[in-house]
Structure formats: structure tokens, C-alpha cells
Structure 1
Amino acid sequence: MATTSDEQAAGQHFLVCGIQDCQKNGQFYCNDCHLPMCEQCKDEHRKSPNNKNHDIVFYRQRKHRLPIEKCKLHPTKNVDIFCKECKTPLCLKCFLTEEHKGHEFDDLEEIYAKKYALWQGEFSKIQKCFLPTSEDLKTDIKEDVKEIKKIMESIRTSMKAEAESLKNLVDEVTSEKLEHTHKMEKSLLQMLKSQETTYNDYMKYLGKMSDKFQEYLSTTNQKLLSSKMLKLNTIPETSKPVPPVFTPGQFNRDDVAKLLGRVNVPNKEPEKRKIQPMEAVSTPMKFTEKQIEQNKEKSDMKPTLSLSSSVTKVREYSVPGVDSAFHVSVGKSGRLWVSENNGNLVQKDLQGKLLQKIKTSGISESYHSATQDGGLIYTDKDEKKIYRITPDRKITEFIKTGDWKPISIHSSRINGDLLVGMRTDEEAKVTRYSKAGKEIQNIQRDNQGQELYKYPHYITENINGDICTSDYHKHAVVVVNKSGQHRFSYTGQGSEFYPYGICTDVLGHILVCDTVSETVHLLNQDGGFLSIILSEQQGIEYPRGLCVDDENNLYVGQCDTNTVAVYKYLE
């Protein structure tokens, strides 16, 4: 009979059924027999009268098995009963003695499973919430350091400009005031350094607590049951610094010191750093037989996908209402949204019927994206607005982008956030909005202060949260992590590279169109070139727009034709 320990399961692509000679995927688990089972063996197991009341759940909701521990009084017997009055684990022989006659008992395995889940939950809080949140707060502090330095440098520049206009009369006063700003900056940076130290100390504490939890989880059940519950200290709160504000002054020859601008800290409460509420780390839930049947389709999915040895065209769509297909979005229903370089944005169904046509200011950019709720978002760069289309085709104004022209947009499949590539006449950036439309992040420069983008005209997100941007004017695919730190830039395989449409798939691959070679490049998650996945040999002439649907089909829009081709490249 196959063994199915957690250590073995972690190294497999899928769990093997524990019934003899069965090698199928054991996605179910019998808590009474402690065996993983495939669906067929699960059904057979239930048919036996002896097993009809067995508790069968999905493997991930299984009850953790009680570790084997021998009774100290009866070494041939296992401890598996808990006396509630004596508060001690017992074996069957202990249970039958006069000492415990009339006492109330519990199944030690049930108690162990609950305790295990509780300790595992606390351990998960460290791994899933406290550590990453503390790391994010440290990153926030580093950003504040940069911002404080930038603001203070801006203040010093303004002061120098005033001093220059007064020439020699203000030299002494300017020197004194500049020294004052350095002291203020030193004080603010010392405060931020202290906050960073606070989180370093707290993360060391979390590491120790994590080791304790792991130690407790690896102990015998008797030690685990007798241990007091460890409680975690909450994440320390810190405050964001209030940057000084420079107030320009009026000046004349009579009172230079009074007329020069002053530097002071605004009289307002410091803004508390935002600590995201901890998501509940739930204990395993039992699934009913009905729920198991309802999730059958999901359970039957193939455990792994890989690149196919060949790329196969599976269908082709002709899209009425456009002359070219510069960008493609695929909604939940399989309906296509396609845009051209003349501002037309159309929606069609699977039968080719035109459902909706909108006139926009977009051209050869990824200015629309299907959303998680089955709708669409699109940008209007002339109006500097983002619009939302509901599944019932109602169009509403969603976000105003101020002085920035939104040229590309992507709706995250991870959390529903909106990633928007924007620019002015002088600079460009990527902005993250929540799905409610609140601005939460701006990405513009790398760690050396250099501009990351020039014209981010196509944008997408990878499975690890990386933001992948196709920048035509930089001749590169620019990739940053979810915190906005630059990871890499891909500049093609030849002397010239002009990227257009870009998308990612469930394996973390990055696919991008190159308009020089008129091909589609396939990259790994870290920007390594893997292959030319589509070229003229596969019937593609001028690839411009890319999109992958929920069934891992690759949609390719082309220039000079309203045809969208669909390919299979994963198996």
C-alpha cells in the first residue's frame, strides 16, 4: 500500500491514491482510515457497509494523524485517549483501570487535530502576515528616506535661489538657514532609522517565535497538549515623518533675515503607517459530499502544465468594426474586445456578432482590459480619464488622472488592482489603483533615480506580481516587482527591438510582440529568452496584440487585418 506522508506529498506533482495498485491522483482523504484516495476508490470505499459513515474530505482539509506514542505504563499500547478529569493521555488499558472509572474521555486524535491546526494557524500568521507586513513597512521607511532627502534638497534649492537674487547681502543668513535644514534632516532621518531598527528587532523576534512554533509542532502530542499557548506580540506601530515645508519669503535690503524663507515642520499629527489587517488564517474545513461533487471539475484538472513541443492554431476570428487588431481583451464569457489604431473599440460574441462599438482616443496601445467581474475598463488619454463598462454594457466614468495621460491599462487577476501606464510631455510612470479607484502606488524611477519609462504603451502583470511593461520608445520590456523595484529589462535578440503587445501565462512566461522581426518572443519569469514562439511560419505576419484566456489559449491580434488568431502552446 502506498505511503502518503506530508514530506512525500510535497515532492510529488500530485498525491497518489493510497489504495493498493492504484496510481491515480489522490485528491480525497479518509480521516478514519488515514488514506488518500482518488475519486473512483473513494466511491468504492463508501459502498462498503463498514465504511459508509467514514469522514471523507478533500486532501487539504484532512485531519492530521495523531503521532504514535507508546504508553509508559503499557509499552505495547499506543496512547490515543484523553481523560478530561485527569487531563492526561491514556492507552486502552489505562482507560479500563479502576482509576479512571466513571471519568469523561475524549478522542485524543480529535484534540490533536484541533491543536495542530491552531498551532499551524499561529505559525502561518508569522509567515503570511507579520513577516511580509514588517518587510513592507521597512520598504515604506526607505521610500520615506528618499522622499525626505528629495524634499529637503528641493527646499535647499529654493533657498539658494532666493539667496542668489539678494547676492552678497544674504550670504551669512543663508548659510545659517542651510545649516538648520541639515539638522532637521538629520533629526528626521534619525527618527526613520530608529523605526527601521524597531522593525529589524521585531522581525528577529518573529524569527525566534517561528522557531518556537516549529519546535512545538514537531514535539510529541503529550508535550504539545501540556504546553501553554504562545502569544505573538503585535506589529509595532510607527509614524510617517511629517516633511518640512519651505515657505518663500519677501525680502529687501533693510531686513534680509526676516524676508528670507523659513523651514518648519507643519503643525499636524503624523500620519500613522498603514498596517494591513491580518487576514484570518482559518483551520481546515470539512467539505460535505455534495460540495465534493460540486467541485469535481476543479478536482479533475491536470496537476501540471508545460510548454508544448509545437504551437497549434485552434481557431480564428474575424472582428467586424475594426481594420486592424492592435489589442485584444478576452472576457469571462469568451467575448472579445478588440481595438484598432483609429480609436475604434468593439466587442463581439463567439459567433462573430458585433455587440458594441465605442469611439475612443486610443490608438496602438493596450488601453482596455477585461475585469474580474466580466466587465471592461478603458482609458481616454485626451480626456485624462478611465471609464468602466459593466457586464450589462453601461459605461461610467471611473477615475480622473489629473495632468497625466493614461495610455495603457491592465486589470489584475491577482487582486483586481488596476495598473495604468501614463505620461506627460516630459515624463512617464506606472500607477496602481485599487479596484475601488483609489491611487495606491506610483512607479517612475529605479534605485539610482533614473527614469524607468518613456512610453509604457502595453502593460500586464505576472503571476508573482511583477509589472511587465512594453515601452516602445525605450526599445525594451521593463519589469519591476510589486513594490516597484526594477528587476530587469529585456531588449530583444537583435540590434533593434520595438516591443508591442505583451501578456503572461499561468506558468509565469512573458510573451511579447517584436515589430522589427514581426515575431512573438517567449521569456521566462526572470526575463530569460526561451524561443520565438510565433512567426510567419505559423501564419502570423504583423503581430501587435496578445492575450491569454482562462483556458490557456493565446489570442494574437494583427496589424492590417481584423483577424484574431488563437493558438495552443501549453499542454
Structure 2
Amino acid sequence: MDNANSLYRVHQCSKCPGDTKYQCLSCPCNLCPQCKETHVKDLKTIDHNIELCREKINYIPKQEIYRKYCEPCKIPVSYHSRKHRKHRTLDIRTAYITARRLHRGIIQTIRSEALFYRHVLMTGLKTDFKTCEAEFSLYPSKMLTKADTLKDLIDDVLYDLLNNVSCDFDFKHRCLKEKIDMQKHIVSLQRYLNIYEQPAFSFSALEFLSTIKKVRLQIYFTLHTSQSSMSTSLNKKDLMESLSTIQITEKGNRRVENESLLKLMSGPELCQSLTLTGVGGCVHISCVTSDRVCVSDKNNLILTNTTGITLHNAEDIWKGDGLHTLNTEGELIYIDRNYNINKLSKDMKTTSSYIERTDSTWIPRCVYWSLSTGDLLVAMNRETSDDKDDKKDNVYYYDTDHPELKTYTWIGKVDRYNRSGQLTQSIQHDSTGLKLYRKPHYIAENYNWDVVVSDHYSMSGAVVVTDREGRYRFSYTGHPSESNLRPNGISTDALSNILVCDKNTNTVQMMDRNGQFLSYLLIRPSGIITPQSLSYDVNTHRLWVGSAYNSTVVIYRYITRQDALTASADVMQSLNEIKTTETEKPHQEQEYLLKVIFPPEFLHSLSLTGVTCCYHISYVTSDQVWVSDYKNNIILTNTTGDTLHHVKDSFSGSFNYGIHTVNSESKLIYIDKNYNINKLSKDMKTTTTFIERTDSAWKPLCVYWTPSTRGLLVGMYKEKLKRGKVNRYNQSGQLNQSIEHDNTGLELYSKPIYITENNNGDVVVSDLSAVVVTERGGRHRFTYTGHPSGSGLTPYGICTDALSHILVSDDITKTIQMLDKDGQFLTNLLIKPSGIYQTQGIGYDVNTHRLWVGSGLGLNKNRLCIYKYINRQDTRTDKQTQRFDGDGMPFSA
């Protein structure tokens, strides 16, 4: 009996205890009918391929009479039929499978879109019907008010009002008819779906093919509606007509706004990342389908899928930014190397000229196909050196071959072409005649038909928005408005939000349709670091983000449906709690012994000899430190500024920042000019190789000796891929660990230039545009990108103190910022300290709790200042925990 039960046991749904009827081939998972409905409506799985379980059997019973299918007549025929002998016929099984495959797209649309939107439209229609009943109940009283002005005719009019108005007034019945029509349409869709899903052994292939021939299915998403208005005429002659007639004004198609269907998620969710072949970077992305995109760098344009495989390569492109787009027929439109705009057929076999360049003074920079109008938007620019009226738009540069100063004026415009390639509009000036654009790089169109342009030159720019008619609306220059924006890739979503990549802050910023900043949607995303390009998939509502410096593309989802069915579909897996390590116990005790004093107390300063600036500081004793500059100099100095020793074989380059450290035996460890890591004896007489460079692709850029593990942390950089990593070596120089990716497999570092370790074992790295912190095991904890978050950071010297604070020198704000161990901004500890315009290297003395601050390039560039900002508590029992308010000002609690 048990064997029989196990043999015919029904499979259980993967989501609930129900019985399986469907199978998702994309997940894969088994689904009951109810879970299938949730699966096809959820935006996470909207593009999944779902089939009935019986399709795995692929069983079609043999027909006794009809064995063939006539393609011209589209009917099943018998094997011996003479009438169709000269026609092209297929095996009935082949025709059945082919027909089902052709209708699969329609079925997916019905499952995921049509029935979903019908439900929302029906809800609105029922509400309008109730509203009509309430509004129409007021009309008799309004008519009676009109009748009071002509009392001599009131009796006759009142009779007509009470007896005939309902006959003449049919608006209520129109709404009722709409409701009935909608219900019939939903029934027909459901019937079509049921026909498609009938098992082959109960509903034969013959019946299926015969049925779909008769069906003329139309999936529409709009309903016709009306608007009522009452005549206000009081002419005596037309009194009867005015009191007994209500005019019906046609309002148009009933539509559902995306705001009623979609909403923003609390934060973006990573869906997938892929590494492409055939491009060196992702300058621009154009979505083709939900699993195919076109990606270009400065030299190549490829068609790729979600596995990163190159499907096609276009070789005649121009070296531009937003140089390609897709039209509604799926044809690729791009700018070629001769500045003509070409069209590549959907099968990628035929290339034709769409718009030929006729004016040599204007250069097309970027293109965008308007889905709403079928027009092509082309952003162009030209340069001139003799436009005296545009001096405020001049861009200055210095030519080494011709040292005289030259000025050029960049002038931009947006042209609109129809489907035939004819110019229909040109947008260049605002209402006052001022120029709108300088050098457009990317262009898009919003859902309200606004034209959105990413316009920048040099290191700053703006997002310039005009309406469809070309009238200027606004310019977005960053958040806050006085910040510096360098906009690159741009896109809009189904909620009419505008998304833009900012290269200055390495963020993707989101604003509403009116230019109001909403949020930093992505801040220095892992694996990309510097986002360059964006493309929004209107079908799955997913955002494709491309990297500026490597071939990584990351797909995010930040929009979900306003649907209770999908609200509970997302089950987020919680992260494991970070265990308290033994190294945190001293920190907890330190809180009872130490406190922060603010402002820091200036002790003294000194000017160094032997170095041109103070790029990096390594503490040796309370009165001796090692200091290095941007050349090949490392000196040992004391508190009077005397040079005690000079190392001249250190690494010299543009990124020789945190190149030295001191181990537990007070020996100097540094990177030499050959990228080997050397060790200088305590008596400074013997130099030995501690770690020899074996991989020429990776360069060590910064080092730090960890007292807790007695090992060496080394920040490495791979120039070809423009990515970094952190290696951990033991005290014998053997590699124990390599930290390169987060838990999703995306790169953490761009170019590590300073590195240190916190008291809780965290590895703290000063990267090119952020402070990246991982726990000792290598798991990513947080990334700090300035205060407020995403505002921009250029971090240099970095250190931690006895209270596990993280101190970082920021070149943008010329400050030393203090964070807690979890990355929360506490305060600007120092702002342009004691004559130092640009702080560079910083070092913390664990014995005296003093902070050594070194000057970078600029005024007093060889200046070294010493501060004290941590002091002992007055009594051991008086624990005054120093806290900071929202403005970074300290208070005790």
C-alpha cells in the first residue's frame, strides 16, 4: 500500500502545502494555481517561463481521422484529403506545439498584465458608478432651483422633470454598460486562458487548433468613459430643454496611472551582476528585451544577454557616450564614425542610413527613440571661438604646444526627427533667448513627455529639462543645489522619476519629474564603484547600471507593485549578527577611562626637512614618527623636526600614499620602487625583503601592521581592471587572506591608497572616493561616502583611535572627519588645522592619545601639527560618554 501511495503521490507546491499544477522553468519551482497567480504578477518573477506540468510529458493522443494540419486554410485535415493535397501541411503534433509556442507570449501578457490591470480598472469603474448615482441625485433639486425663477411655468416643468428626465438621461446606463462590457471581456480572457491550459488528454489538439482559429482576441488596457455637465441656460424659450436635458460630454479613455499600480521600495535590491566580453567599459546601455541589452564603450557596441555572452558586434560606431537607442520595432539606431545616424535591422543583418549628416558644424552626441511619439531625439553640439555674445559659456584650456590661452564656446541643441527622418523641431534656447545646452552627453524622454538631457563639460554640469514643446522647465545641478554635479548616464522610470549618474560623487541620484531631489538611489555600488550608464526596463521595472571603468553591469530592482499578493512574496534573509571579538573588550573598558574633548587642543607644530610634504605618517614612539612625501623620500623625525634617518629607495609615483608602517618591534616596513615590501631593522642598518612581488598585474599601494594579529595588511591595485583588493600576510610574509568582493561577488575597492585596522578587528580602507570597511573575516560592513551620505568624499590619510573612532582626511572639505565604528558621522574634528590648507597624512599615538596631522600640497606643505582630542575621565566611576548632535557638536550624556 505504501508503495502504491509513493508511486502516485502528487507533488507539493514549493511555496505552500498545495498540490502542484504548474512548473516555473526559470526558478525552477513547482506551483499550485494560487501561487502561480502570485508568481506571474510579482515583478521579481514577471518574466519567468511557467508551463503546465503535463507539458513535461509532451503527450498528444493519436487522432483517428485528422492527422495533418493545412497551413493556408488553418484547419486540421485527414491524411487522405484530396482537397488540401496541394497545400502545405504539417503533422498535427508539430502544428499543435508550434501554435502553443506562438501563443505563449499572449498568455504571459494575460497572466502578468491584462488580468492585473483589469482588476484595477474594474475597481475604478465601480467607484465611478457609485459616484454617478450620488451626483445624479442632486440634479432634480438643482432643476427645481432653476424653476423657481419662472414660477408661472413651474407646474408644467415639474411634471416633465419628475416623469421624463430619467428617460432622456442615459449617462447612468452608459456606466452600467461599461461595467457589463468589462465583465464580458474578463470572462473571454479567462476562457482563452482555460483553453490554453486544458490537458491534452481531455481537450484534444484538434479542438485547440480549431478554437484559436475562431478567437479574435484583443487585449486592451483602456475603457471608454464619459463626463456629465448640466446646462446653465435660463432662456425662457429654452426652459423646457434646459430643465429636462443633461448634456453628456465624452471624456476619453479610462486609464490607470502608474502611481496607482507601482511604488518605490524602501531600498534598491540587487538582482544580478554580469561581466561582459567585447567592451572595456559600459559607457551606454539600451534595453532590447528583459534579457538582452546593447552596451557600448568608446570603441565597441555589442548586443549581449544576461549571461554576458556577446551576440553581435557593431564596428562602425562613433566614440561617443549616449550614441545608440532602440526603436519600437526593436531596430538599433546609432551614430556611426562619420556622424551619420544608422539603423540596424532586427535580425542584425542589414544596416541602412536613417539620418545623414548635412551640416558639418553640428556633431550628433546622443540619441533617444521616443516611445510615446515615435520620434527620434538627437542632442548635438558645435564649438566656436568667435562668438562674442557667449563669453559666459566659454571653456578655457591650456595647450602645451601652443601656450597661449584659447577660448572655445560649446553650444548645444536637441533636434526632433519623425519616423521618416525629417526634422520637425529644434530646441536650443529658453524663452529669454539664452542657450540651454553646452555639451549634451545623454538624452531621454520622461513619461510626461519632458525632454531630459545630461549636459556637462569639464568637471561640472546639469540635467536640463524642457517640455515637449521645447519650453524650458528646470535644471538640476545636484543635491544640494550649490553642489557640483557631473552628470553622465540618465534614465526615467514608470513613476516619471529622473535618474542620473553623478561622476563627482559616484552616485545614482533620483529626482521627481519637477527636479526635486528624492534620494541617492545608489552610492558607490559594489562591483561598479563609478556608475556611468543607466537603462530602465519598462516591462520588468529593473534598472541596468554600467560601470565607467570596467565591463561590469549590475541589475537592480527598486520599484514594486501596489498589490497585496506580492507584498508577502519577498522574504528577506536576515544577516548573521557580527559576533563580538575579544579585541572589543579593551574598547569597552576604554569608554570608562577616556573621553573626547572638543575642540581638539593644539599642542605644537613643526616644519620638516628632507620631505616636500607629509603624505603619510607612521607612529614609532611618542616623540618619533616616519613621514613620507610624494617622491621617494621616507624620513624618521622627532618633535623638533630633526631628520634622524632617510630612506631613499621607496616607491615613487602618483599614488604613493600609505606606503609604510611600523611593526611591533618598531621596524619600518615599506614599499620600494620595485613594488617589493621591505623591512628596515630597528637600528636602521639592514634592509631585507619581507614580501617579494610575484604577480606583475597587482601593485601594492599601502600597508599596515596589525598589532592584534601581528600580521601585515596590504592594499593592492590592478591597473588593467581598475580594481583593488586587500591581502593579509602573517608575520612570516605568507598570504593568509584576500579581501576583494562583497557577499554578492561584486568588487569592493577601486584603488586602496591608505589602510588601517580598528580595535574591533575591522579593516578600514581609504579608497579613491570612499572609506570601505570590512570585518576581520572579510565581510563588507559599510561604505562611507561623506556627510551627508553621497555628498562626495576624497579620502586621504586614515587612522583609528582608542575609542574605535575612524578618522579620515577629506580633500574636498579640507577637514578631518570623525566616524564611529559603524560608519556614522560624528563631527568635523579639524577644519583647515593651524595653517594647513590641505590635510593629507594623519597618525594616532596609542600611548599619549595624540593626533599627528601632516600637510599635503599647497601652502606650508612640509608642516606637521600635533593635537590632543582624547583625555582621561576625571574619575573611573564618572563615565561621561561623549556624543554628537545632528550638527556634529559634542555633548555629554
Q: TM-score, normalised by structure 2?
A: 0.29
Q: Which has the higher helix share?
A: 1
The structure that is strand-richer by fraction is 2
Q: TM-score, normalised by structure 1?
A: 0.46
Greater RCO, 1 or 2 (C-alpha within 8 Å, sep 6+): 1
